[in-house]
Amino acid sequence: MVVLLAIALGACTQRNQDMQDQMAVDAIMHNYEGKVPGASVLVVRDGMKLIHRAYGLADLESNTAATPATNYRLASVTKQFTAAAILLLAEDSRLRLDDPIRHWLPSLPGTDDAITIRHLLTHQGGLIDYEDIMPGSTIGESVPADLAQQLRDIDVLHLLERERRVYFAPGSAYRYSNGGYSMLALIVERASGKSFQSFLHERIFRPLGMSHTLAYVRDGPVVTNRAYGYTEISGVWRRTDQSLTSAVLGDGGVYSSIDDLARWDEALYDNRLLSDASRRLAFTPWTKTDDAQVDYGFGWRITGETLWHSGETIGFRNVIVRYPKQHLTVIILTNRNNPEPYPMALAIARHFMRR
């Protein structure tokens, strides 16, 4: 009888704790509730989902609610998958991290001779920002989803082929480069003989059971449970789901959900996907960034206690924050232009750190 009472009391205490946790997260995410662009939130510790919730709408026009299975465009959170693809090819001896990028992309100009794959992974290549030299309308302008003029990774290469300058000598400085990760996607294709989206599917998403995650292209599989992006303009939410750069894959083209990202997060603790050596490379603070408190690895921002990355593109703001020593991760995916969810993720993490 005493044992049964202790079990019952323990279960009651756990339910109370779960309710307090949920209320704390709900308070942080309250602006995403209702008939507004939404969010999906995951808190996982020691492989257990402590928070697994969604708020608001994935599609305002159809009044479709966001769920934990909703797939958002990850924007620059994609870069960790691009980096993982490069590391897998290095494990396969299909490329070397210190290969000059012109070995794989020989149409680039001679001014890029000294840039290596490692430089691109750490944003130390000095490539000119393709967003600043692309033709067309204002950067970030919303465009129809089927716009034929959207840039692809190969178009970024063609833009960079015409440049005869770099920002700095490779390896001498840091400058965040979407174009560098676009070039990495092309290197994945040339080293593997597969399309970038196929390589990610075959070597990362399918092995990890991330069955609804994909690098989205118009002529490929559709995004199921898709969230559409929005921007608040004069107090009204307007769909701003695509821009001229939305079809560039290597720097930001992956769609995923918190359900699938939970599998990705867990795989980063062991060698089920990447070897111990590859994960050490990814999580090494190779360079200082423009934030004195943050270093950069291979597709990851690194602080003293966290591995994290945000993703910002028109209509979407996302973040993943991992605390490896505590085996704690917070992921927030949103389908609105503002605000950035990084401060909210830190506030959620602080709540669970106090427990």
Predicted local confidence at residue 88, as pLDDT = 98
Strands of 48-55's sheet in order across: 48-55, 39-45, 328-334, 316-323, 307-313, 301-302, 295-296, 287-288
Residues annotated as catalytic are: 76
Predicted local confidence at residue 138, as pLDDT = 40
Instruction: For residue 232, list its beta bridge partners.
Output: 237
| Torsion (CA) 230, 232, 238, 241 in degrees, nearest 10 | -20
Kindly provide the residue ranges of all beta strands, DSSP E only, lying in 130-271, ordered along the sequence. 214-215, 230-233, 236-239, 254-256
- Residue-wise pLDDT tens digits, 316-333: 999 999 999 999 999 999
Residue matched to tokens 């602006």: 31
Q: b/e map of 75-105 (b: 16 or more CB within 10 Å)?
A: bbbbbbbbbbbbbbbbeeeebebeebbbebb
**Percent of the chain topping pLDDT 70:** 92
Identity of residue 148: A
Task: In whole angstroms, give the CA distance from residue 25 to residue 192.
Answer: 43
Query: How does DSSP classify residue 201?
Result: I
Predicted local confidence at residue 1, as pLDDT = 58
Predicted local confidence at residue 137, as pLDDT = 41
- Residue-wise pLDDT tens digits, 115-131: 999 999 999 999 999 99
Predicted local confidence at residue 170, as pLDDT = 98
Predicted local confidence at residue 86, as pLDDT = 99
Counting as low any pLDDT under 70, the low residues of the chain are 1-14, 136-148, 355
